[in-house]
Amino acid sequence: MKIRMNHLVTTLALVLSASAALAQSAEGEVRKIDRAQSKITLKHGEIKSVDMPPMTMVFRVKDPKELDALAVGDKVKFDAAKIDGQYVVTVIKKAP
Ligand SMILES: [Cu+2]
């Protein structure tokens, strides 16, 4: 019974942290992909993590491998951060 409770607590913690991460995700649509430069142009909604209103702009992508799964026109969920004065997409996934 003790083990089950521990498992439940762990599962609950995972669910909570996952939903917190999701709450910060911004939504966007892919307009252009530049694999050579590891850059992506997104038409994005509000990005609360960097206090940015909706617009279309170019981002650097932290993990260029994530671009392989994307195409122009895809709806995406992503997180962005300001690193060394540049806006960087830290994680990006095709929206389900
Ligand atoms: Cu922007």
Q: Answer yes or no: is 49 within a domain.
A: yes
* Dist. CA 10 → ligand 1 center (Å): 36
Instruction: Answer yes or no: is 72 within a domain.
Output: yes
80 Cα to the center of ligand 1, angstroms: 9
pTM: 0.76
CA dist., res. 82 & res. 29, Å (int): 20
CA distances from 29 to 8, 22, 84, 85, 95 (A): 37, 17, 25, 23, 9
With 50 as the cut, is the pLDDT of residue 20 above it?
no
Q: Mind listing the pLDDT tens digit for each residue in 23-54? A: 458 999 999 999 999 999 999 999 998 999 99
Any domain includes 7: no
pLDDT of residue 24: 59
> Ligand 1 mean position to 6 CA, how many Å?
42
What CATH number did the domain enclosing 38 receive? 2.40.50.320
